[in-house]
Amino acid sequence: MNNVIIIGSGPAGLTAAITCAQKGLEVSVIDEYMKPGGRLLGQLYEQPDGSWWNGINESKKLFQQAVNLGVQFYLETPVFNIEKKDSLWVVYTDKETFQTTNLLLATGAAEAPVPIPGWTLPGVMSIGAAQIMTNVHRVKPGNRGLIIGINVLSSAIAMELKLAGVDIACLALPKNNQITHESAHPKKVLDSLLHVAHMAPSTFVKLGSKLMKNNFMKELGVTFYPRNGVKMWDIPIQLKKAVIEIYGEQEVEGVTIASISSKGEVIEGSEENIAVDFVCIAGGLYPLAELAALTGCPFHYIEELGGYVPLHNEQMMTPVEGLFVAGNITGIEGAKVAAAQGKIAGLSIAKRSGKHQLDEDLKDAVQQGADTRKNAYIQFHPEVDSGRRRIQEEWEEYLVNNTVQFF
């Protein structure tokens, strides 16, 4: 049996499916969502060259190409367990149980929560939920919202909401506590925000990114940060204000926000209320690796990659025989990088299935992946490259004491 099952139909899974099918493998793709495309579906932004990246169109193109190559799709099918029996993988869903020799996990990323008093009220949602409602289902999450958490993702989605005619009162930090710590610290946030500077038309932020190279300048930048915030796409970014509570009787009616010091401490007496009918929480992304964790695959915590990632090499193999990974499950990056990893995984799987003369292709694909990373427009962590190196080093260290079944 020369087959492969791919869990996840995001850019990584779809590209891997296309690659495997082109090499003559029998491919099935399983996804719990009703549409193929994964997190690509929600994406909509202008690229540096002035063209628009429309995730719905990109997803359609990939899906159509896969269907034309004979890839089988099982949508609305959550996988709740995977297990190795003899040399076959058994994939359990609530509809069918599947078997395969090669299994690719391309399950993407999940959003990290940020608890704020009142966050269980109806009308509070994750920033990704607001993106999917607006861009995929074309439903406004509300008329006027506020975003808690300032990072690459929340700035990009704020702009998308604005395009859809949804008013955003501001982006602000969460109140500092044992859980939010770094995301509630103005200087740390400013640090990471400098990496989206190229996306912002504001002269302040652009200037900032050149001026604030060293810590001293950053300290100054936060100290003198304007009280009324800096505007990106006309939306105030409030690095020196934190949301201390979300209030409402039956649902969100507003938030209480307060000024904070450059270390993130609330300044007593500065509280004010802002009326909004929805609130988005943006706590950042982490690799969704639950299925890999069930297989006994070793994991490593690598902050630059977004959290715990399954051990894997440049060819997207894990040490568990027949188990491959691609896309955000290996670390948080943009859609183009995920697709490039999907191609690498596809070629690796074809090679393991006995297809010959793929070494050159594989080498090229790995190089292409590195180039895509270098030219990426969206970078979720500024040090992602060093994160990638770390996991490769862990892999090499693992090989010293363990045997891995290569192709």
Partner 1 sequence: MRESEMIICRCEEVTYQELLDTAITYSCSARELKLRTRAGMGYCGGRTCRSIVDQVAKQVGSEQSKKNISLKYQAPIRPVNFVDLGGEGK
* Chain length of the chain: 407
> Using CB under 8 A, which residues numbered 4 to 33 contact partner 1?
32
Q: Which of residues 62-91 bind ligand FAD (CB under 6 A)?
A: 78-79
Residue of 46, 94, 234, 272 that binds partner 1 (CB under 8 A): 94
Strands 323-325 and 102-105: parallel
Figure out which of the listed residues 45, 53, 204, 299 binds partner 1, where binding follows CB under 8 A.
Answer: 299
The owner of tokens 């080093």 is 393
**Chosen residue from 64, 80, 223, 359 binding partner 1 by CB under 8 A:** 80
> Quick one: which of 279, 325, 335, 384 contacts ligand FAD (CB under 6 A)?
335
- The DSSP secondary-structure symbol of 221 reads H
Q: In this chain, which of 8, 145, 307, 319 binds ligand FAD, going by CB under 6 A?
A: 8
* Strand partners of residue 353: none
Partner in contact with 81, chosen from ligand FAD, partner 1, none, beta carbon below 5 to 8 Å by kind: partner 1
Q: Are 27 and 71 in contact (CB under 8 A)?
A: yes
- DSSP code of residue 73: E
d(CA 238, CA 229): 5
State residue 395 phi and psi, 5-degree precision.
-60, -50
Alpha-carbon span 38 to 58, nearest angstrom: 11
> What part of residues 268-287 is at the interface with ligand FAD (CB under 6 A)?
285
Q: What single-letter amino acid sits at 213?
A: K
Which of 29, 125, 147, 156: binder of ligand FAD (CB under 6 A)? 156
The residue count for binding ligand FAD (CB under 6 A) is 36
In the complex with ligand FAD, the residue whose CB is nearer, 208 or 327, is 327
Should residue 122 be labelled a site residue for partner 1 when binding is judged by CB under 8 A? no
Q: How far is the CB of 330 from ligand FAD (least distance, A)?
A: 8
Closest to 327 measured CA to CA, from 153, 107, 132, 38: 107
Listed ranges 103-111, 214-222, 233-241, 302-310: which one lies at the site for ligand FAD (CB under 6 A): 103-111
List phi, psi (to 5°) of 171. -105, 130
Token pair for residue 282?
Answer: 């943006």
331 binds ligand FAD (CB under 6 A): no
For residue 329, what is the DSSP state?
Answer: G
Kindly state the smallest distance separating residue 395's Cβ from ligand FAD, in Å.
19
Amino acid at site 246: I
Return the residue of 24, 113, 201, 382 that touches partner 1, per CB under 8 A.
113
Here the tokens at position 111 are: 């959003």
Contact residues for partner 1, defined by CB under 8 A: 32, 78-81, 83, 92, 94, 96, 110, 112-113, 115-120, 175, 177-179, 181, 245, 247, 286, 290-291, 293-294, 298-301, 307-308
